[in-house]
Structure 1
């Protein structure tokens, strides 16, 4: 069957990711790519305030998100790789990032009309960060956050705006971009 697809990119219909919610996977109940969407939404929407999580608002244009498929040992694997710069450099932000460094996380990335969940508590993404020190006065100076891993399931797609996802509206643990 031939499917006609149209790329609609104009000022009136350009929906980009603008927010990332990063939650430490060790705090979440067990779920995987086979768990029902309603159950996963219940987990995400009912996170206690004391959970280790951070919300990054205003994702920069230079963020990168890849989710390609590969076949390993006859099984389809989804290879997720997500990175974004976070500026400026600040001792409090670096201390927070250090608490996440080399820990497993799940990431909910939000657009105005829908969200994607990358990683599960059983197959989370590994969080790392690097410092950025651009030599030019106008270059980026801050941190590059990276989250990646292979999983058996595709990212979870959830329709709805941010009102449908209370996690993105709360000040969990630390709102990184709130003061930037």
Structure 2
């Protein structure tokens, strides 16, 4: 087994995780089309860390905690790239990415939760951030074109139940914090773009 340096880190890509290590020796020229030798690290291996059959998972972000635990957050349990069902989910590995826990929801607002990021603070608390969207509404504007029982038909039903004040309250950027469990989401007026933390 290859020795990992203190500069080792993990990069999660969709359902695939790539473990990379600073200063490791080259084995292959490319993995999944990416050069093995990167500017600051080398890809050692890739593997699927989370599967949700029939569902879409996107936009992962990972962090390595001081104790070595790896956390990856993402928008999961989705119908497709743009839909109303996205939830902020998290998986964990305590053995350098060899095994992973099942995904758990850490945030699930009434809107589409997207592009989660996560960091560990100096005191060990975790902070996750994401934004919400109603971009799916563009594909359900014409009710006459929606086939009963289709994904978009159910999106329309969901959207019709959302009161304007609910959309107003939950549309934007949010953070949650955990010291011993996740607290309620807090609205973030500053918000960031893609991967807010």
Coarse TM-score class (shorter-chain normalised): under 0.3
Which is greater in Rg? 2
Task: Choose between structure 1 and 2: higher helix proportion.
Answer: 1
**TM, length-normalised to structure 1:** 0.23
TM-score normalised per structure 2: 0.22
